[in-house]
Amino acid sequence: MPESISAGIHDLSFATTEFVLPHTALAEHNGAEIDKYHLGLGQRSMSVPAADEDVVTMGAAAAAPIIERHGTAGIRTLVFATESSIDQAKAAGVYVHSLLALPPATRVVELKQACYSATAALQFAIGLIHRDPTQRVLVVASDVSKYALDSPGEATQGAAAVAMLVTANPSIVRIEAQSGLFTTDVMDFWRPNYRDTALVDGQESITAYLQAVQGTWQDYRAQGGRPLEAFSAFCYHQPFTRMAYKAHHHLLDLNGQDAGQATLRQAIEPTTAYNAVIGNSYTASVYLALTALLDQADDRTDQLLGFLSYGSGSVAEFFAGTVVPGYRDHLHTARNRAEVDRRKPITYGRYRALHEQSLPTDGGDHPTPEETTGRFRLAGIRGHKRLYEKG
């Protein structure tokens, strides 16, 4: 790619679920003080999928506004990032490809590494564009985080999808070449094939995350990355929003910088607006943080942003991006806020019933209840085949 051509995020959109469970309802059920969730975790509510919603319906809904705005011409790759996969063989993105009527001349793949894989997808996309700047790549990150009922992780659940159109000469964020990487084998969070809910060692996960912050930053600087003072804000993976504050505090300490509350709030608070009310969306989380930051009133033109993408197990990456002049003209701010506001609050009992439901495995004809008012729905399963339709 000629030096004058950059690559990055040209469009950015997200979708979430039909229902929402306020943390006040969870606290009432658990007999917990609400500050445990509002202050301790930094969470206010969590998105809950309807019976006919999953990673495919959310992913297609997130990408639809991008396709409507830009069309399908030039999109030759769709990368679907998730750790809530619906099939051990077929990529969930193939269903999204069909629902969005993308051209047959498209490669579709699914990437997995806990919450990190959307960043792998973004880097994969940038690599393709460096090879052929005329191409556009659609990246979809979609997940439903699910932990056992009455477990410590229950309050951090959530669900959302983020879609990004990655192109040359992008209109929202230019991604820089330098990248800091870190991988280590640690059992902080995992979900064996035979389980519907994840297993997590909460304290080990926090420790591993902070270790990854240090490792990625050190590698980023070794690769010629910018100094800490060059950044105006930081988009961290947010399994719960307070974790972003912990991570940035650690990064400031590593650099001998002031880690006071005012400094932390300035760098982190604008990125937490959506994650605080949606909950953990795994692969989508760090890009929901970016969306929240850009949807704020402050003008971010030409500002340098830091991104820390962490996936348990663990793989992490630190990279940088610059906000492009005129980016506001390309946002979906009103639609994004409406997507959050349209969710219907449910009782703890209703949430528990949705949590405990599972799709039949006998190969029969099983339609799903029509619950979502979203653009796409899982119509049912017939002969072990998932059937999707437009809402």
Q: Does the model's pTM come out above 0.85?
A: yes
Q: Within a 10 A sphere around the Cβ of 373, how many other Cβ atoms?
A: 11
**What is the CATH classification number for the domain harbouring 306?**
3.40.47.10
Catalytic-role residue among 10, 23, 97, 237 = 237
b/e burial code for range 124-156 (CB count within 10 A of at least 16 → b): bbbebbeeebebbbbbbbbbbbbbeeeeebbbb
- Residue 1 in domain: no
Under DSSP, the state recorded for 226 is: P
Catalytic-role residue among 18, 23, 97, 115 = 115
Phi, psi dihedral angles at 18 (to 5 degrees):
-75, -30
CA dist., res. 56 & res. 18, Å (int): 14
- How is 346-383 classified by DSSP, letter by letter? --HHHHHHHHH-----SSSEEEPP----SSEEEEEEET
Cβ contact 126:79 at 8 Å:
no
With H, G, I as helix, E, B as strand and everything else as coil, classify residue 338. Answer: helix
Cβ contact 91:391 at 8 Å:
no
With H, G, I as helix, E, B as strand and everything else as coil, classify residue 138. Answer: strand
> What pLDDT, in 10s, does the model give residues 251-278?
999 999 988 999 999 999 999 999 999 9
- Mean pLDDT of the 332-342 span: 97
Count of structural domains within the chain: 1
Q: Within a 10 A sphere around the Cβ of 4, how many other Cβ atoms?
A: 6
- In the predicted structure, residue 1 carries a pLDDT above the cut 50: no
| Residue 115 is a catalytic residue | yes
> What pLDDT, in 10s, does the model give residues 122-176?
999 999 999 999 999 999 999 999 999 999 999 999 999 999 999 999 999 999 9
- Residue 325 in domain: yes
- Domain residues for the domain of 161 are 7-390
Q: In what order do the strands lie in the sheet with 158-168?
A: 107-111, 75-81, 136-145, 158-168, 7-15, 173-183, 315-323, 304-311, 233-236
| Residue 237 is a catalytic residue | yes
Cβ contact 178:317 at 8 Å:
no
Cβ contact 334:295 at 8 Å:
no
| Residue 235 is a catalytic residue | no
- Mean pLDDT of the 11-36 span: 97
- Residue 210 in domain: yes
End-to-end Cα spacing for the chain = 41
- Residue 379 in domain: yes
> What pLDDT, in 10s, does the model give residues 35-93?
999 999 999 999 999 999 999 999 999 999 999 999 999 999 999 999 999 999 999 99
Q: Which of 167, 203, 192, 206 is nearest to 73 (CA)?
A: 167
Catalytic-role residue among 53, 83, 110, 269 = 83
Strands 75-81 and 107-111: parallel
> What pLDDT, in 10s, does the model give residues 178-229?
999 999 999 999 999 999 999 989 899 999 999 999 999 999 999 999 999 9
Mean pLDDT of all residues belonging to the chain: 96
